[in-house]
Amino acid sequence: MATYNITAVYEYAGEIEADSPEEAEAIFLKDLNDYYSSTESLEIEKLGECVVCGEVDSNASEDFTCDVCAMDKSQESYSWSEMAELTHKKQVEIFGWCGCEEKEHFPYDDCPREGE
Ligand SMILES: [Zn+2]
Ligand SMILES: [Zn+2]
């Protein structure tokens, strides 16, 4: 789910029977829905959110990586070429685990294989 910032300007107009301008205003504000005539403008802006943890920053209009996630090395985004160059050693260094731990498949050439 994303977070949206919405600013809308509405136009209300109508004739009100009252004994004073103050009373007219009070009735008008109280029954605003009755006097609704149009939406003048409506802006919906998607707030930028951290692509990793989803934290929303109301000052950001584009998705970003927050400071906390940027500091967490395992959450860094790696290019495909970097991913392709990963080895068991690098994978464990960065992510702290490797797919070979299940001992079902060995994603890297240097994964320790039992019985070899
Ligand atoms: Zn984050
Ligand atoms: Zn491995």
- pLDDT, averaged across the chain: 86
> Does 56 have pLDDT greater than 70?
yes
CA of 40 to the centre of ligand 2 (A): 60
CA distance 96 to 79: 19
Q: HEC profile for 15-65? A: CCCCCCHHHHHHHHHHCHHHHEEEEEEEEEEECEEECCCCCEECCCCCCEC
CA of 30 to the centre of ligand 2 (A): 68
The pLDDT tens digits for 87-100 are: 898 888 888 888 88
Ligand nearest to the CA of 77: 1
